[in-house]
Amino acid sequence: MEKIRIRGNPNLQLKGEVRISGAKNAVLPAIAASLLTADKIKLKNIPLVKDVTTILTVMRELGSKYFIRKNTLTIQTKRILSHEASYELVRAMRASILVLGPLLARHGKAVVALPGGCAIGSRPIDLHIHSLEKMGASITLEHGYIKAQADQLIGTEIDFEKKTVGGTENLLMAASLAKGRTVLKNCALEPEVVNLCELLEKMGAKIEGAGTDTIVVNGVKELGGTTHTIIPDRIEAGTFLVAGALTKGDITLTHTMPQHLDTVIEKLQTSGASIERVKNNTIRVKGTSEIRPQDITTSPYPGFPTDMQAQFMLFMTQASGTSIITETIFDRRFSHINELSRLGANIEVYGDKAIVKGKTLLSGAEILATDLRASASLVLAGLIASGETLINGVEHLARGYERIEEKLKNLGAHIERIET
């Protein structure tokens, strides 16, 4: 069983430079989008994380051929050999649902396992399904699988009843090859959605309004190959900004896009950290001795990202005062609280709110990570807890962070992966 062992130090100061990897949540839809053409797609700056391996396993089952050289993926699906994404792969990564739209658009058929719930909530996909039905797909749910058929998707107007990143991405890919014009309203504004639009446009899609609430897609008959660069991972960058602020350290982050982190940077600055934009893709964070408490409410981009909630909550356990953290996106994204409490944090939950009372000195313990971002929060906690922290469930970490132990070690942390 793999675990992460951290020798914590309440006076740790992380210092140095860290290169931020490509965004997991941008590369997954980009890989799915490669299904839309028989030509070669080259994706640069991909993160070598477990979720990429998982979706590439799905793609291989569908008929894709690919190779990775350094951090560049070249992938091509000359023919769709199968249109089924199996349960064991979808269960491993719910983002596999992103093959639904492209498969329907390219191949007219798709059988994708229904992703179950996960540690951060029920996570339905009703908005994906109803929207594709509006485009003419006939979809049934049988034995835990989504069975979808569409000889030709037809452009129409779709107004998402709530902002959905995956739903927007699935429909963008489906609409790119549909007949006629599709108007998508109440779209997600996340940078990863914009990065997908850029890729689709390079492939020949006709898209207007990327990055706004309303995106218009004029379907085309065929899409072609291209080369595209995946944007930096704003959540990895946010995690390292918190690490620097938390440890009163001095960390320079390179290969970032600071403009994707405005709300996180603003909250860190009001908590007392100093964050300087060194040049267009480099930011420097310096922590302070006095951390001021902050209330945060997660919301769709450009609001405070839900994927930064767990990391920021840990940060607030070291603030001098009370912080209220409200999670509005997912219905159960507080699994890290029990584990942080085992380290000595003082956090009470009232519905979608967590009341964090700081400053609490943390002491190391054996703990369990349950989802990707919770595990990042627990790692940060272990860094500043006195004594040793052993983290179980580390497979979650590898899903979305490329070589995080190595990156933290280079900044002065005593962290290692052990086999027990």
Q: Which of 307, 261, 311 is nearest to 281 (CA)?
A: 261
CB of 300 to ligand EPZ, least distance (A): 6
What is the C-alpha separation between 285 and 198, in angstroms, rounded? 30
SS3 per-residue string spanning 360-413: CCCECCEEECCCHHHHHHHHHHHHHCEEEEEEECCHHHHHHCCCHHHHHHCCCC
Alpha helix positions (H), 203-233: none
Alpha helix positions (H), 67-208: 87-92, 100-107, 126-134, 165-176, 191-202
* Complex with ligand EPZ: residue 75 or 100, whichever CB lies closer: 100
Burial 306-333 (b: 16+ CB within 10 A, else e): bbbbbbbbbbbbbbeeebebbbebbebb
Residues near ligand EPZ (CB under 6 A): 24-25, 28, 95, 121, 123-128, 162, 164-167, 188, 192, 306-307, 329-330, 372-373, 400
The catalytically annotated residue of 38, 48, 111, 118 is 118
CB of 292 to ligand EPZ, least distance (A): 26
CB of 329 to ligand EPZ, least distance (A): 5
197 is catalytic: no
CB of 266 to ligand EPZ, least distance (A): 19
Interior angle at CA 100, CA 112 and CA 31, nearest 5 = 110
* Complex with ligand EPZ: residue 25 or 271, whichever CB lies closer: 25
CB of 163 to ligand EPZ, least distance (A): 6
Q: Residue 121 — left, alpha, or beta (φ > 0 → left; ψ -120 to 50 → alpha)? A: left
Q: What is the DSSP letter of 173?
A: H
Q: In what order do the strands lie in the sheet with 282-286?
A: 15-19, 250-254, 282-286, 274-279
Q: Which amino acid is at 366?
A: E
Residues 107 and 37 sit within 8 Å (Cβ to Cβ):
no
* Complex with ligand EPZ: residue 126 or 276, whichever CB lies closer: 126
CB of 390 to ligand EPZ, least distance (A): 23
Residue 320 host element (H or E)? none
* Complex with ligand EPZ: residue 39 or 331, whichever CB lies closer: 331
* Complex with ligand EPZ: residue 249 or 400, whichever CB lies closer: 400
CA 88 distance to own-chain centroid: 20
* Complex with ligand EPZ: residue 5 or 312, whichever CB lies closer: 312
Q: Assign 2 to helix, strand or coil.
A: strand
Positions marked catalytic: 118
